[in-house]
Amino acid sequence: MVVPLDGFGMPGARLRKLPCPLQLKLKALPACIAGQYMTLNHPHILRITTDQHSPKVAGFAGDPYVRTPNLDRLAARGTVLANHYGANPVCCPGRNSIMTGRLPRELGTPCFMDELPSKSLTYPEHLARYGYQTTCVGKMHFHGKDQMHGWLFRPYGDMEILGRSHMQDYDATADLYKDAQWKVKYEDFGGYTPFMLKTARPGTDKYILFDQSVTREACLHLRDYFSTLIAEPYQGERPLLFEASFKTPHCPFICPPDLFEYYMDVLPLPAKIAAGNVPQQILNRQQSDQPRDITEDHIRRARAGYWGLVQWVDEQIGLVLNALEQTGHADEFLILYTSDHGEMAGERGLWQKTCFYEESVRVPTIVAGAGIEAGRSINANTSHLDILPTMAGLAGLPVPESAYGVDLSPVLRGRSALDQNRIIFSEYFEGGQKNDPIGTQVNGVMAKKGQLKWIDYCDGDSELFDLSNDAAESHNLSGSPNYASVQSELEEAIRSLPEPWRVHRPGWRMTQRPRNY
Protein backbone atom coordinates (compact mmCIF):
# COMPACT_ATOMS: atom_id res chain seq x y z
CA MET A 1 0.00 0.00 0.00
CA VAL A 2 1.33 3.42 -0.93
CA VAL A 3 1.20 5.90 1.92
CA PRO A 4 1.07 9.54 0.81
CA LEU A 5 3.88 11.65 2.24
CA ASP A 6 3.91 15.31 3.05
CA GLY A 7 6.67 17.80 2.27
CA PHE A 8 8.75 16.52 5.20
CA GLY A 9 8.45 12.86 4.19
CA MET A 10 6.03 12.06 7.00
CA PRO A 11 3.13 9.67 6.34
CA GLY A 12 -0.50 10.52 6.80
CA ALA A 13 -0.03 14.28 6.83
CA ARG A 14 -2.82 16.69 6.10
CA LEU A 15 -2.09 19.61 3.79
CA ARG A 16 -3.18 23.03 4.96
CA LYS A 17 -3.47 25.89 2.51
CA LEU A 18 -2.45 29.03 4.33
CA PRO A 19 -3.72 32.27 2.81
CA CYS A 20 -1.56 35.16 1.79
CA PRO A 21 -1.69 37.12 5.08
CA LEU A 22 0.20 34.32 6.80
CA GLN A 23 2.53 33.87 3.86
CA LEU A 24 3.74 37.44 4.34
CA LYS A 25 4.77 36.57 7.90
CA LEU A 26 6.77 33.54 6.76
CA LYS A 27 9.27 35.17 4.42
CA ALA A 28 12.18 34.16 6.64
CA LEU A 29 11.22 30.47 6.62
CA PRO A 30 13.12 27.82 4.66
CA ALA A 31 12.34 27.75 0.96
CA CYS A 32 10.54 24.40 1.25
CA ILE A 33 7.65 26.02 3.11
CA ALA A 34 7.79 29.68 2.13
CA GLY A 35 5.63 29.42 -0.99
CA GLN A 36 1.93 30.07 -1.47
CA TYR A 37 1.15 26.68 0.10
CA MET A 38 2.63 25.62 3.38
CA THR A 39 2.92 21.85 3.87
CA LEU A 40 3.04 20.51 7.41
CA ASN A 41 2.70 17.19 9.14
CA HIS A 42 0.39 19.49 10.89
CA PRO A 43 -1.07 18.21 14.15
CA HIS A 44 -2.33 20.73 16.63
CA ILE A 45 -0.55 20.26 19.96
CA LEU A 46 -2.01 20.75 23.41
CA ARG A 47 0.57 20.80 26.18
CA ILE A 48 -0.73 20.66 29.75
CA THR A 49 1.71 21.47 32.54
CA THR A 50 1.41 21.39 36.30
CA ASP A 51 3.81 22.46 39.02
CA GLN A 52 5.32 20.03 41.54
CA HIS A 53 3.42 16.85 40.67
CA SER A 54 5.04 13.77 42.20
CA PRO A 55 5.46 10.91 39.69
CA LYS A 56 3.95 8.52 42.22
CA VAL A 57 0.79 10.48 43.09
CA ALA A 58 -1.43 9.54 40.15
CA GLY A 59 -3.85 6.72 39.56
CA PHE A 60 -2.11 5.62 36.36
CA ALA A 61 1.18 5.52 38.31
CA GLY A 62 -0.31 3.06 40.82
CA ASP A 63 -1.22 5.36 43.72
CA PRO A 64 -4.09 3.56 45.53
CA TYR A 65 -5.41 6.70 47.26
CA VAL A 66 -5.44 9.60 44.80
CA ARG A 67 -8.36 10.14 42.42
CA THR A 68 -7.10 11.37 39.02
CA PRO A 69 -9.70 10.08 36.52
CA ASN A 70 -8.85 12.59 33.79
CA LEU A 71 -5.12 11.89 33.75
CA ASP A 72 -5.87 8.18 34.02
CA ARG A 73 -8.08 8.33 30.91
CA LEU A 74 -5.40 10.29 29.08
CA ALA A 75 -2.82 7.66 30.02
CA ALA A 76 -5.14 4.87 28.85
CA ARG A 77 -5.48 6.44 25.43
CA GLY A 78 -1.80 7.31 25.10
CA THR A 79 1.74 6.40 26.08
CA VAL A 80 3.23 6.95 29.54
CA LEU A 81 6.92 7.84 29.81
CA ALA A 82 7.45 5.98 33.07
CA ASN A 83 11.02 7.11 33.70
CA HIS A 84 10.92 10.76 32.67
CA TYR A 85 13.19 13.14 34.58
CA GLY A 86 13.46 16.88 35.00
CA ALA A 87 16.78 18.45 34.05
CA ASN A 88 16.69 20.43 37.29
CA PRO A 89 14.46 19.68 40.31
CA VAL A 90 13.47 23.30 40.92
CA CYS A 91 11.02 25.53 39.06
CA CYS A 92 12.85 28.09 36.95
CA PRO A 93 16.05 26.32 35.86
CA GLY A 94 13.99 23.21 35.12
CA ARG A 95 11.45 25.16 33.07
CA ASN A 96 14.23 26.87 31.14
CA SER A 97 15.51 23.43 30.17
CA ILE A 98 12.03 22.33 29.08
CA MET A 99 11.73 25.44 26.91
CA THR A 100 15.11 25.07 25.21
CA GLY A 101 16.13 21.40 25.37
CA ARG A 102 19.38 22.46 27.03
CA LEU A 103 20.89 21.98 30.48
CA PRO A 104 20.79 24.98 32.85
CA ARG A 105 24.60 24.96 32.95
CA GLU A 106 24.62 25.46 29.16
CA LEU A 107 22.06 28.26 29.25
CA GLY A 108 23.83 30.12 32.03
CA THR A 109 20.70 29.77 34.20
CA PRO A 110 21.67 27.25 36.89
CA CYS A 111 20.01 29.10 39.81
CA PHE A 112 16.42 29.98 40.65
CA MET A 113 16.60 33.73 39.98
CA ASP A 114 18.50 33.53 36.67
CA GLU A 115 16.71 35.00 33.65
CA LEU A 116 16.49 32.99 30.45
CA PRO A 117 18.33 35.00 27.73
CA SER A 118 15.87 36.22 25.09
CA LYS A 119 18.11 34.91 22.32
CA SER A 120 17.62 31.31 23.52
CA LEU A 121 15.67 29.21 21.02
CA THR A 122 12.53 27.82 22.69
CA TYR A 123 9.96 25.29 21.49
CA PRO A 124 7.20 27.90 20.95
CA GLU A 125 9.62 30.05 18.96
CA HIS A 126 10.76 27.06 16.89
CA LEU A 127 7.20 26.01 16.03
CA ALA A 128 6.15 29.62 15.38
CA ARG A 129 8.94 29.93 12.80
CA TYR A 130 7.27 27.16 10.84
CA GLY A 131 3.79 28.65 10.90
CA TYR A 132 2.36 27.43 14.19
CA GLN A 133 0.19 29.79 16.20
CA THR A 134 1.70 29.53 19.69
CA THR A 135 -0.60 30.42 22.57
CA CYS A 136 0.01 29.95 26.29
CA VAL A 137 -2.35 30.43 29.21
CA GLY A 138 -0.92 30.43 32.74
CA LYS A 139 2.38 29.93 34.46
CA MET A 140 5.70 30.11 32.65
CA HIS A 141 7.77 31.47 35.56
CA PHE A 142 9.93 33.68 33.35
CA HIS A 143 12.06 36.12 35.31
CA GLY A 144 12.49 39.64 33.98
CA LYS A 145 10.91 41.74 31.27
CA ASP A 146 10.71 39.12 28.50
CA GLN A 147 7.49 37.26 29.27
CA MET A 148 7.03 35.75 25.79
CA HIS A 149 10.14 33.78 24.72
CA GLY A 150 8.48 32.62 21.51
CA TRP A 151 4.83 32.65 22.53
CA LEU A 152 2.88 34.77 20.06
CA PHE A 153 -0.10 35.14 22.35
CA ARG A 154 -0.51 34.96 26.15
CA PRO A 155 -4.14 35.88 26.85
CA TYR A 156 -3.72 35.15 30.55
CA GLY A 157 -0.24 35.64 31.93
CA ASP A 158 1.74 34.73 34.99
CA MET A 159 1.27 35.48 38.67
CA GLU A 160 5.04 35.26 39.25
CA ILE A 161 6.97 37.78 37.18
CA LEU A 162 10.16 37.85 39.18
CA GLY A 163 13.36 39.79 38.80
CA ARG A 164 13.43 43.58 38.71
CA SER A 165 17.09 44.34 38.02
CA HIS A 166 16.22 45.51 34.47
CA MET A 167 14.05 48.35 35.80
CA GLN A 168 15.18 51.96 35.74
CA ASP A 169 16.31 53.23 39.17
CA TYR A 170 16.25 49.68 40.53
CA ASP A 171 16.96 49.70 44.28
CA ALA A 172 18.52 46.41 45.33
CA THR A 173 18.63 47.56 48.96
CA ALA A 174 14.85 47.94 49.06
CA ASP A 175 14.45 44.44 47.63
CA LEU A 176 16.77 43.01 50.26
CA TYR A 177 14.69 44.74 52.92
CA LYS A 178 11.51 43.16 51.56
CA ASP A 179 13.22 39.77 51.41
CA ALA A 180 14.20 40.18 55.06
CA GLN A 181 10.57 40.86 55.98
CA TRP A 182 9.47 37.63 54.32
CA LYS A 183 12.32 35.78 55.96
CA VAL A 184 11.15 36.89 59.39
CA LYS A 185 7.62 35.75 58.55
CA TYR A 186 8.79 32.25 57.63
CA GLU A 187 11.30 32.02 60.45
CA ASP A 188 8.48 32.63 62.93
CA PHE A 189 7.41 29.10 61.96
CA GLY A 190 10.89 27.61 61.78
CA GLY A 191 11.54 28.24 58.08
CA TYR A 192 9.77 28.15 54.73
CA THR A 193 8.91 24.45 54.63
CA PRO A 194 7.81 24.20 58.29
CA PHE A 195 5.62 27.23 57.56
CA MET A 196 3.95 25.24 54.78
CA LEU A 197 3.47 22.20 57.02
CA LYS A 198 2.07 24.16 59.94
CA THR A 199 -0.39 26.11 57.78
CA ALA A 200 -1.77 23.14 55.78
CA ARG A 201 -5.56 23.30 55.93
CA PRO A 202 -8.82 23.10 54.00
CA GLY A 203 -9.74 26.25 52.11
CA THR A 204 -8.87 28.34 49.05
CA ASP A 205 -5.46 29.78 48.26
CA LYS A 206 -4.23 32.30 45.68
CA TYR A 207 -2.80 29.45 43.60
CA ILE A 208 -6.24 27.82 43.38
CA LEU A 209 -7.76 31.14 42.34
CA PHE A 210 -5.03 31.60 39.73
CA ASP A 211 -5.60 28.12 38.31
CA GLN A 212 -9.35 28.65 38.14
CA SER A 213 -8.60 31.58 35.85
CA VAL A 214 -6.15 29.46 33.84
CA THR A 215 -8.90 26.88 33.29
CA ARG A 216 -11.47 29.49 32.31
CA GLU A 217 -9.18 31.29 29.88
CA ALA A 218 -7.83 28.05 28.39
CA CYS A 219 -11.34 26.79 27.66
CA LEU A 220 -12.35 30.17 26.23
CA HIS A 221 -9.36 30.50 23.89
CA LEU A 222 -9.43 26.91 22.69
CA ARG A 223 -13.02 27.54 21.63
CA ASP A 224 -12.24 30.92 20.11
CA TYR A 225 -9.35 29.63 18.03
CA PHE A 226 -11.74 27.69 15.84
CA SER A 227 -14.48 30.34 15.85
CA THR A 228 -14.78 32.11 12.49
CA LEU A 229 -16.66 34.92 14.21
CA ILE A 230 -13.70 35.89 16.39
CA ALA A 231 -10.51 34.55 14.83
CA GLU A 232 -8.64 36.09 11.93
CA PRO A 233 -9.80 34.63 8.61
CA TYR A 234 -6.81 32.29 8.34
CA GLN A 235 -6.30 31.37 11.97
CA GLY A 236 -8.47 28.26 12.19
CA GLU A 237 -6.47 26.76 9.34
CA ARG A 238 -3.17 27.41 11.08
CA PRO A 239 -1.69 24.61 13.24
CA LEU A 240 -1.92 25.46 16.92
CA LEU A 241 0.48 24.92 19.81
CA PHE A 242 -1.61 25.63 22.90
CA GLU A 243 -0.31 25.36 26.46
CA ALA A 244 -2.39 25.40 29.63
CA SER A 245 0.03 25.73 32.55
CA PHE A 246 -1.20 25.37 36.14
CA LYS A 247 0.42 26.46 39.40
CA THR A 248 -0.98 23.64 41.54
CA PRO A 249 -0.34 21.15 43.14
CA HIS A 250 2.54 23.35 44.34
CA CYS A 251 2.30 24.18 48.06
CA PRO A 252 0.81 25.83 50.17
CA PHE A 253 -0.90 22.60 51.12
CA ILE A 254 -4.39 24.12 51.02
CA CYS A 255 -7.21 22.45 49.10
CA PRO A 256 -11.04 22.41 49.02
CA PRO A 257 -12.54 21.14 52.31
CA ASP A 258 -14.19 18.02 50.88
CA LEU A 259 -10.91 16.86 49.34
CA PHE A 260 -8.93 17.72 52.46
CA GLU A 261 -11.23 15.69 54.71
CA TYR A 262 -11.27 12.74 52.31
CA TYR A 263 -7.48 12.45 52.20
CA MET A 264 -7.11 13.05 55.93
CA ASP A 265 -9.16 9.88 56.39
CA VAL A 266 -7.46 7.62 53.86
CA LEU A 267 -3.79 8.64 53.59
CA PRO A 268 -1.13 6.89 55.68
CA LEU A 269 1.98 8.55 57.04
CA PRO A 270 5.09 8.23 54.88
CA ALA A 271 6.99 4.99 55.27
CA LYS A 272 10.09 5.28 57.44
CA ILE A 273 13.24 4.40 55.52
CA ALA A 274 16.28 3.44 57.56
CA ALA A 275 18.78 4.51 54.93
CA GLY A 276 22.46 4.27 55.77
CA ASN A 277 25.34 6.43 54.57
CA VAL A 278 23.13 9.49 54.03
CA PRO A 279 24.91 12.56 52.58
CA GLN A 280 25.28 15.54 54.88
CA GLN A 281 23.27 17.76 52.54
CA ILE A 282 20.29 15.42 52.93
CA LEU A 283 20.67 15.26 56.71
CA ASN A 284 20.67 19.06 56.76
CA ARG A 285 17.57 19.14 54.59
CA GLN A 286 15.74 16.71 56.88
CA GLN A 287 16.43 18.92 59.89
CA SER A 288 15.30 22.09 58.11
CA ASP A 289 12.27 20.58 56.31
CA GLN A 290 10.87 18.65 59.25
CA PRO A 291 12.28 19.93 62.55
CA ARG A 292 11.42 18.30 65.86
CA ASP A 293 8.35 20.43 66.50
CA ILE A 294 6.64 19.04 63.37
CA THR A 295 4.05 16.52 64.57
CA GLU A 296 2.36 13.59 62.87
CA ASP A 297 -0.75 15.73 62.61
CA HIS A 298 1.21 18.39 60.68
CA ILE A 299 2.45 15.69 58.32
CA ARG A 300 -1.01 14.19 57.81
CA ARG A 301 -2.53 17.59 57.12
CA ALA A 302 0.19 18.58 54.65
CA ARG A 303 -0.16 15.31 52.78
CA ALA A 304 -3.95 15.61 52.72
CA GLY A 305 -3.58 19.09 51.26
CA TYR A 306 -1.13 17.89 48.63
CA TRP A 307 -3.14 14.85 47.51
CA GLY A 308 -6.23 17.06 47.47
CA LEU A 309 -4.47 19.56 45.20
CA VAL A 310 -3.49 16.76 42.81
CA GLN A 311 -7.12 15.71 42.53
CA TRP A 312 -8.23 19.33 42.20
CA VAL A 313 -5.85 20.10 39.33
CA ASP A 314 -6.90 16.84 37.66
CA GLU A 315 -10.44 18.25 37.66
CA GLN A 316 -9.15 21.43 35.96
CA ILE A 317 -7.38 19.32 33.35
CA GLY A 318 -10.65 17.48 32.74
CA LEU A 319 -12.41 20.78 32.04
CA VAL A 320 -9.74 21.75 29.50
CA LEU A 321 -9.97 18.34 27.79
CA ASN A 322 -13.76 18.68 27.67
CA ALA A 323 -13.42 22.10 26.06
CA LEU A 324 -11.08 20.59 23.48
CA GLU A 325 -13.67 17.93 22.66
CA GLN A 326 -16.32 20.61 22.21
CA THR A 327 -14.28 22.33 19.49
CA GLY A 328 -14.86 19.35 17.19
CA HIS A 329 -11.11 19.23 16.48
CA ALA A 330 -9.90 16.98 19.29
CA ASP A 331 -8.89 14.19 16.91
CA GLU A 332 -6.45 16.62 15.25
CA PHE A 333 -4.53 17.22 18.51
CA LEU A 334 -1.56 15.58 20.10
CA ILE A 335 -1.65 16.03 23.89
CA LEU A 336 1.40 16.17 26.14
CA TYR A 337 1.08 16.20 29.92
CA THR A 338 3.96 16.71 32.33
CA SER A 339 5.10 18.69 35.38
CA ASP A 340 8.24 20.71 36.01
CA HIS A 341 9.42 18.56 38.94
CA GLY A 342 8.00 16.40 41.71
CA GLU A 343 7.20 16.69 45.43
CA MET A 344 8.76 14.62 48.23
CA ALA A 345 5.55 14.90 50.32
CA GLY A 346 7.24 13.79 53.53
CA GLU A 347 9.12 10.79 52.17
CA ARG A 348 12.49 10.52 53.96
CA GLY A 349 11.43 13.48 56.10
CA LEU A 350 11.79 15.72 53.03
CA TRP A 351 9.31 18.11 51.42
CA GLN A 352 9.05 19.93 48.12
CA LYS A 353 11.83 19.30 45.55
CA THR A 354 15.54 20.27 45.13
CA CYS A 355 16.92 16.74 45.48
CA PHE A 356 17.43 13.75 43.22
CA TYR A 357 15.24 11.12 44.86
CA GLU A 358 12.54 9.79 42.58
CA GLU A 359 9.67 11.73 44.16
CA SER A 360 11.47 15.00 43.43
CA VAL A 361 13.33 14.60 40.15
CA ARG A 362 11.08 12.22 38.19
CA VAL A 363 7.81 13.57 36.76
CA PRO A 364 4.57 12.03 35.45
CA THR A 365 4.51 12.29 31.66
CA ILE A 366 1.88 11.25 29.08
CA VAL A 367 1.69 11.65 25.31
CA ALA A 368 -1.61 10.88 23.56
CA GLY A 369 -3.26 11.48 20.20
CA ALA A 370 -3.32 10.24 16.65
CA GLY A 371 -0.50 7.83 15.88
CA ILE A 372 0.46 7.38 19.56
CA GLU A 373 -0.04 3.84 20.82
CA ALA A 374 -2.74 3.55 23.49
CA GLY A 375 -2.16 1.95 26.88
CA ARG A 376 1.60 1.73 26.44
CA SER A 377 4.35 2.47 28.94
CA ILE A 378 7.94 3.23 27.94
CA ASN A 379 10.40 2.37 30.70
CA ALA A 380 13.59 3.67 29.10
CA ASN A 381 14.95 6.89 30.60
CA THR A 382 13.70 10.13 29.06
CA SER A 383 14.28 13.73 30.01
CA HIS A 384 12.72 17.18 29.90
CA LEU A 385 15.54 17.94 27.48
CA ASP A 386 13.68 15.69 25.03
CA ILE A 387 10.52 17.84 24.96
CA LEU A 388 11.64 20.43 22.41
CA PRO A 389 13.08 17.85 19.95
CA THR A 390 10.01 15.65 20.42
CA MET A 391 7.56 18.48 19.80
CA ALA A 392 9.46 19.37 16.64
CA GLY A 393 9.37 15.74 15.55
CA LEU A 394 5.66 15.35 16.29
CA ALA A 395 5.00 18.49 14.23
CA GLY A 396 7.07 17.14 11.33
CA LEU A 397 9.67 19.88 11.71
CA PRO A 398 13.46 19.75 11.81
CA VAL A 399 14.99 19.36 15.25
CA PRO A 400 17.14 22.41 16.08
CA GLU A 401 20.81 21.64 16.53
CA SER A 402 20.90 23.61 19.79
CA ALA A 403 18.75 21.01 21.59
CA TYR A 404 20.64 18.54 23.78
CA GLY A 405 17.79 16.02 24.03
CA VAL A 406 16.38 13.28 21.80
CA ASP A 407 13.41 13.37 19.42
CA LEU A 408 11.10 10.74 20.90
CA SER A 409 8.46 10.99 18.16
CA PRO A 410 9.62 7.83 16.28
CA VAL A 411 9.53 5.92 19.58
CA LEU A 412 6.08 7.26 20.47
CA ARG A 413 4.81 6.24 17.02
CA GLY A 414 6.27 2.74 17.35
CA ARG A 415 8.86 3.13 14.59
CA SER A 416 11.97 2.72 16.73
CA ALA A 417 13.12 1.93 20.25
CA LEU A 418 15.05 4.05 22.71
CA ASP A 419 18.62 3.26 23.60
CA GLN A 420 18.37 1.54 26.97
CA ASN A 421 21.92 2.62 27.77
CA ARG A 422 21.49 6.35 27.21
CA ILE A 423 22.59 8.50 30.15
CA ILE A 424 20.32 11.33 31.26
CA PHE A 425 21.24 14.15 33.63
CA SER A 426 19.71 16.41 36.23
CA GLU A 427 21.46 19.13 38.20
CA TYR A 428 20.81 21.54 41.03
CA PHE A 429 22.81 24.64 41.94
CA GLU A 430 21.82 26.93 44.77
CA GLY A 431 25.24 28.30 45.61
CA GLY A 432 26.70 31.60 44.50
CA GLN A 433 23.38 33.42 44.44
CA LYS A 434 24.28 36.35 46.70
CA ASN A 435 27.60 37.05 48.39
CA ASP A 436 28.75 33.44 48.55
CA PRO A 437 30.32 32.53 45.21
CA ILE A 438 31.35 29.07 46.42
CA GLY A 439 31.40 28.79 50.23
CA THR A 440 28.31 27.15 51.66
CA GLN A 441 26.52 26.43 48.38
CA VAL A 442 24.34 23.34 48.00
CA ASN A 443 24.84 21.63 44.68
CA GLY A 444 24.43 18.28 43.03
CA VAL A 445 24.44 16.47 39.69
CA MET A 446 22.62 13.24 38.84
CA ALA A 447 23.44 10.83 36.02
CA LYS A 448 21.19 7.83 35.33
CA LYS A 449 21.81 4.87 33.04
CA GLY A 450 19.17 2.17 32.93
CA GLN A 451 18.11 1.64 36.53
CA LEU A 452 21.41 2.84 38.00
CA LYS A 453 21.41 6.36 39.40
CA TRP A 454 24.53 8.21 40.54
CA ILE A 455 24.31 11.47 42.51
CA ASP A 456 27.35 13.64 43.15
CA TYR A 457 26.81 16.33 45.79
CA CYS A 458 29.92 18.24 44.72
CA ASP A 459 31.27 18.23 48.27
CA GLY A 460 32.74 14.71 48.48
CA ASP A 461 29.43 12.94 49.26
CA SER A 462 27.70 10.75 46.72
CA GLU A 463 24.94 8.18 46.32
CA LEU A 464 24.47 5.28 43.93
CA PHE A 465 21.18 3.40 43.71
CA ASP A 466 20.16 0.32 41.76
CA LEU A 467 16.44 0.99 41.28
CA SER A 468 15.87 -2.43 39.75
CA ASN A 469 15.96 -3.97 43.23
CA ASP A 470 15.85 -0.87 45.47
CA ALA A 471 12.94 1.28 44.33
CA ALA A 472 12.89 3.00 47.74
CA GLU A 473 16.50 4.19 47.29
CA SER A 474 17.43 2.93 50.74
CA HIS A 475 20.79 1.28 49.95
CA ASN A 476 23.59 3.63 48.96
CA LEU A 477 25.98 1.58 46.82
CA SER A 478 28.51 4.35 46.26
CA GLY A 479 31.98 2.87 46.58
CA SER A 480 30.76 -0.72 46.27
CA PRO A 481 33.27 -2.86 44.30
CA ASN A 482 30.40 -4.59 42.48
CA TYR A 483 29.33 -1.24 40.98
CA ALA A 484 32.75 0.35 40.49
CA SER A 485 32.62 0.16 36.69
CA VAL A 486 29.23 1.86 36.23
CA GLN A 487 30.02 4.39 38.95
CA SER A 488 33.17 5.35 37.08
CA GLU A 489 31.21 5.58 33.82
CA LEU A 490 28.59 7.90 35.31
CA GLU A 491 31.22 10.01 37.05
CA GLU A 492 33.00 10.42 33.72
CA ALA A 493 29.72 11.33 31.99
CA ILE A 494 29.21 14.18 34.45
CA ARG A 495 32.82 15.23 34.15
CA SER A 496 32.39 15.55 30.38
CA LEU A 497 29.59 18.11 30.73
CA PRO A 498 30.50 21.79 30.22
CA GLU A 499 31.41 23.81 33.28
CA PRO A 500 28.33 25.54 34.78
CA TRP A 501 28.21 29.31 34.38
CA ARG A 502 25.71 32.12 34.96
CA VAL A 503 24.63 34.39 32.15
CA HIS A 504 24.20 37.41 34.45
CA ARG A 505 27.46 36.72 36.30
CA PRO A 506 29.92 35.60 33.61
CA GLY A 507 32.72 35.20 36.14
CA TRP A 508 30.81 32.61 38.16
CA ARG A 509 32.28 29.15 37.74
CA MET A 510 32.00 25.89 39.65
CA THR A 511 35.75 25.42 40.02
CA GLN A 512 36.39 24.71 43.70
CA ARG A 513 35.05 21.19 43.90
CA PRO A 514 36.80 18.07 45.21
CA ARG A 515 36.29 16.04 42.03
CA ASN A 516 37.46 18.81 39.70
CA TYR A 517 34.18 19.00 37.84
Mean pLDDT of 341-365: 96
Predicted local confidence at residue 365, as pLDDT:
98
Cα–Cα distance, 344 to 210 (Å, whole number):
23
**Cα torsion for 388, 84, 366, 147, to the nearest 10°?**
-40
Predicted local confidence at residue 446, as pLDDT:
97
Of all helices (H) and strands (E), which one includes residue 393? helix 387-394
CA geometry: angle at 361 spanning 356 and 366, to 5°? Answer: 160
Predicted local confidence at residue 157, as pLDDT:
80
Of all helices (H) and strands (E), which one includes residue 381? strand 376-383
Mean pLDDT of 321-340: 96
At 1, the pLDDT band (50, 70, 90 cuts) reads very low
Which residues have CB under 8 Å from 201's CB, separation 6+? 253, 254, 260, 301, 305
Say which range, 14-23, 343-352, 362-371, has the weakest mean pLDDT: 14-23
Helix (H, G, I), strand (E, B) or coil at 448: strand
Q: What is the pLDDT of residues 47-105, one digit of tens each?
A: 999 999 999 999 999 999 999 999 999 999 999 999 999 999 998 999 999 999 999 99
Which residues have CB under 8 Å from 114's CB, separation 6+? 92, 93, 96, 104, 108, 143, 502, 503, 504
Say which range, 42-51, 116-125, 149-158, 477-486, has the weakest mean pLDDT: 149-158
Greatest mean pLDDT among 159-163, 205-209, 440-444 lies in 205-209
Of 330 and 41, the one with more pLDDT:
330
Q: What is the 3-state secondary structure (H, E, C) of 41-98?
A: CCCEEEEEEECCCCCCCCHHHCCCCCCCHHHHHHHHCEEEEEEEECCCCCHHHHHHHH
Predicted local confidence at residue 148, as pLDDT:
80
CA geometry: angle at 230 spanning 224 and 234, to 5°? Answer: 90
Q: Which amino acid is at 299?
A: I
Is the per-residue pLDDT at 509 higher than 50? yes
Say which range, 41-55, 474-488, 500-514, has the weakest mean pLDDT: 500-514
CA geometry: angle at 341 spanning 270 and 475, to 5°? Answer: 50
